Chains A and B, each alone.
Chain A
Amino acid sequence: MRDFRFWGLLPAHVLMALTLIVPILIIVAVSFSTRGAYGGFEFTFTTDAYRQILFNEGWTGELEFNPQYLYIIGRTVLLACCTTFLCMALAFPIAYWITLQGHKARVILLFAVTLPFWVSMIVRVYAWLIILGNDGVIEKGLRLTGLVDDLPSLLFNNGAMLAGMVYSYIPLMILPVFASIEKLDPALIEASHDLHGSRWVTLRRIILPLCWPGLVAGAILVFVPCLGAVLEPVLLGGGKILMMGNLIQMQFGGARNWPFGASIAIVLMCLVMVFLLLNGLRATRKAMEEMA
C-alpha cells in the first residue's frame, strides 16, 4: 500500500518538479546572476538586482536611495486591492440573485458568467476600447439622448483601467461566492427574522459570516492574477504609469537586464505568498477556535 502511494503518485511529483519547481529555481538563479551586456545573464553570484530595487545611480552618478520601484510595487498592490474590493462588492449581490432563480435559469446564468472565458483575454480587453473609445458605444449612446455634446475621452485613465480589470476578473469572484451562498441554510435566515433581526442585521451577522469562505476564496483568485496584470494598464490605462507586470516585461526586453526582471518577479511572488500565508494562518486559527 505504501509502495503504491509512492509509485502511483510519482508522475504527479515529476510533473510538479519539472513544470513548477525547476522553473522557479531558474528564475531565482537568474535573479542572483550578473547581467549580460546585451541581455541574457552569466552565472556569477551577485545581489545587484535586488539592490537595484532600492538604490540607483542618480543623474550625477552617485548611488542613492530611489523609491521609484517601490512606487510601482505599491501602485500594483493598490490596483489589485481596489479590483478585489470592487469585485467583491459587485459579485455578492449578483451571486445572491442567481441563487434565488429557478433551477433552469440558474444553470443558464452560471453558464453566462463563465462564457467570457471562452474568448481570448486580448479580444475582451479590445472590446472595452470599442465601448469606451471615441465614437464608442457609450459616447454614441449619450449623444442619442441629446444630453451630452462634448464628452471628455473615457479611455486611457485609471477608471478605464479599473473597469477593465474588474470586468476581466469578476467571474472568478462570482463562482466561489455563488457556491457558498447556495449552501446557506434558509432556516438560519428565517430564524434571524423570527428573533426580530432586521434585514441589515441578518445580512451582517448571518449571511456574510457564513459566506465569508467563498468571498475569501474569490479574493485570492482575483487578487493574485491582478498583481501581474499587463494588458489593461497598457491598453485601457494608456501605459502612462508602469505596473509590476510591465516593469518585468521591460527588463527582459528593451532594458536588457534579465536579473533585475527576475528579482522583481521574485518580489511579486513573495507578495503573493505573504498574502496566501496570512490567509492560511487565519483559516487555521479559525479551525482551532472551532475545535476548542
Chain B
Amino acid sequence: MKKILLSTAATLAFAGAAQAEGKLNLYVWSDSIAPELIEKFAKENDVEVTVDGFNSNEDLLTKLQAGASGYDLVTPSQHFVKIMVDQGLLEDIDAHDLAAYAQVDEKWRGQWWDPENDYSIPLAYGTAGYTVNRDIYDGPVDSWATYFEAPEALKGKIASLNYPDEVVGAAQLYLGVEFCSEDPAEMKKVYDLLAAQKPDVAVFASDNIENRIGSGEVGAHFWWDGNSLKTRKNDGAPIEFAMPKEGLVGWLDSMVVPAGAANVDNAKAFIDFMSTPENATIQYNYYAHSSPVALDLDKAEYTPENAPELFPTVPVEFSRACSPAAQDLVTKVWTQLLQ
C-alpha cells in the first residue's frame, strides 16, 4: 500500500541542479503543494527541491520514528504535531520569530498542539465528512444518519476509508461519544454502529476517491471538504459535501521541520515563502482547502457562495492526540470490524 502512496509522489528536479546552492526535501500530503510554487521557490532561491507524498499521518509518523528520513519539511495534522513534539521528533525552529508567523490568523496561534509556536506554522485546514453523488441519492444530507444508517438508495453503495482515524471520529460525533474516549463501553457503541453499517459498505479505501464517487461507483464516500470541492468544480461531478448537524471532524496541517534535518534554513525560507499573501493565494486556489494565513482576497477563487464546502455551517470538532489506551480502543474497533 505504501508503494501506491509513494507512486503518487512527484519528484521534481530542476535544470542547473549542479550549481544549486542547496537542497530542500519535502514530504507532504500527496498533491498538496502547488507545483508552480515549488518551481518558483527553486528558481528564486537556487535550491534543488524534491517532493514526496504521503496519504496518512500514520505513514509520516512511522517514517520519522524510523529515523534519518532525509526530509527537511513535513506537514502533519494537529494531533500528530502534538505527538511528534512530545516524542522529540521535531526541530525547534522558533516559528514565532519567522516572518510567516505575522501572517497567521489570530485564531490559529498558540493552539494546544504547539502552545508557544516553537515548531509549526499552519499551512491549510478543513474538515472530514462525507460526499454524496446526487445521481444516486437525492435525499437529505443534514445528518451522519444518512452515512452510518444507509437509506435504501445507498445500501451497498457506501464507501469508507481504509484507516480508522477520522471515520471513528465521525461515528463518535454521531453517537455523542467523546473523542479519544478511554471507556470500552462507549467505544463498543462505536463498534456496534460501524458493524451494523458494514453490510452496506462497498469498499474501505482511501485512494482514487474522486473516481469512485464522481462516476457513481458508490453513492456516498467519506471524504475531505476541499477534495470534494475540487472534483465538483473541475470535473463537474454531481456531488455534494454533506453538512451533518452532529458536526464535522476538523483538521489543520502545519509545516514543521523534522529533528536533525540537513537543510533547516531552506525549510524556514520555504515556510516564509508559502506564507506571503501572494503565494498563499496561489496555494489556496490550487489546493482548495482553507488557508490559516492572510490571503490576497481579490485573487482568491473560493467564496462562501461558490464553495460552501469550505465554509461549514455546522460545528467542527478537531481530532485530538489520543492516549495509548484510547488509541488501542480505536484499533480494537477497527480490527474487529475487518476481522
Closest to B208 in A: A129
Does the CB pair B62–A39 fall under 8 Å? yes
Does the CB pair B184–A238 fall under 8 Å? no
Residue of B324, B332, B339 near A242 (CB, 8 A) is B339
Residue of A135, A241, A255 near B339 (CB, 8 A) is A241
Residues of A within 8 A of B334 (CB): 250, 254
Cα–Cα, bound, A272→B257 (Å):
41
Does the CB pair A253–B205 fall under 8 Å? no
Q: Contact mask B155-183 → A, CB, 8 Å, 1/0?
A: 01000001111000000000000000000
Does the CB pair A254–B202 fall under 8 Å? no
Q: Which of B301-332 touch A at CB < 8 Å?
A: 324, 327-328, 330-332
Cα–Cα, bound, A120→B6 (Å):
13
Does the CB pair B204–A239 fall under 8 Å? yes
Residues of B within 8 A of A153 (CB): 156, 202, 217
Residue of A129, A234, A241 near B1 (CB, 8 A) is A234
Does the CB pair B339–A71 fall under 8 Å? yes
Residues of B within 8 A of A134 (CB): 215-217
| Distance (whole angstroms) from the CB of B336 to the closest CB of chain A | 7
Residues of B within 8 A of A129 (CB): 208
A249 within 8 A of B: yes
A38 within 8 A of B: yes
Cα–Cα, bound, A68→B191 (Å):
15
Does the CB pair B184–A38 fall under 8 Å? no
B83 within 8 A of A: yes
Q: Which of B53-103 touch A at CB < 8 Å?
A: 56, 58-59, 61-62, 65, 83, 86-87
Does the CB pair B204–A37 fall under 8 Å? no
Does the CB pair B205–A238 fall under 8 Å? yes
Q: Which of A77-124 touch B at CB < 8 Å?
A: 120-122
Residue of B7, B56, B184, B217 near A61 (CB, 8 A) is B184
Does the CB pair A156–B203 fall under 8 Å? yes
Does the CB pair A234–B205 fall under 8 Å? yes
Q: How many interface residues does chain B have, given as a range? A: 35 or more
Residues of A within 8 A of B45 (CB): none
* Given known A59-B185, A59-B188, A155-B217, contact A239–B162 (CB-CB < 8 A): yes
Cα–Cα, bound, A246→B201 (Å):
18
Q: How many residues of A contact B (CB 8 A)?
A: 41
Does the CB pair B327–A256 fall under 8 Å? yes
B230 within 8 A of A: no
Residues of A within 8 A of B217 (CB): 133-134, 153, 155
B4 within 8 A of A: yes
B198 within 8 A of A: yes
Cα–Cα, bound, A239→B1 (Å):
11
Does the CB pair B202–A253 fall under 8 Å? no
Residue of A60, A68, A156, A242 near B202 (CB, 8 A) is A156
Cα–Cα, bound, A258→B182 (Å):
21
Does the CB pair B338–A240 fall under 8 Å? yes
* Given known A38-B86, A234-B205, A254-B164, contact A242–B335 (CB-CB < 8 A): yes
Cα–Cα, bound, A233→B83 (Å):
31
| Distance (whole angstroms) from the CB of B135 to the closest CB of chain A | 12
Cα–Cα, bound, A241→B332 (Å):
14
Residue of B201, B328, B339 near A68 (CB, 8 A) is B339
Q: Contact mask B2-37 → A, CB, 8 Å, 1/0?
A: 111001000000000000000000000000000000
Residues of B within 8 A of A33 (CB): none
Cα–Cα, bound, A38→B322 (Å):
9
Does the CB pair B87–A38 fall under 8 Å? yes
Does the CB pair A253–B198 fall under 8 Å? no
Residues of B within 8 A of A256 (CB): 58, 324, 327, 331
Closest to A67 in B: B339
| Distance (whole angstroms) from the CB of B322 to the closest CB of chain A | 10
* Given known A39-B62, A155-B217, A254-B334, contact A238–B204 (CB-CB < 8 A): yes
A31 within 8 A of B: no
Does the CB pair A240–B204 fall under 8 Å? yes
Cα–Cα, bound, A61→B86 (Å):
28
Leading 5 A-B pairs by shortest Cβ distance? A253-B58, A239-B204, A238-B203, A68-B339, A255-B331
Given contacts A234-B205, A254-B334, could you give 16 more A-B pairs where the C-beta distance is less than 8 Å?
A59-B191, A68-B335, A133-B215, A134-B216, A134-B217, A238-B204, A239-B203, A240-B201, A241-B338, A241-B339, A242-B335, A242-B339, A249-B2, A250-B335, A253-B56, A253-B58
* Interchain residue pairs with CB less than 8 A apart (20): A40-B87, A59-B184, A69-B339, A72-B339, A122-B7, A133-B215, A134-B215, A155-B202, A155-B217, A156-B203, A231-B1, A239-B162, A240-B201, A241-B338, A250-B163, A250-B331, A250-B335, A254-B56, A256-B327, A256-B331
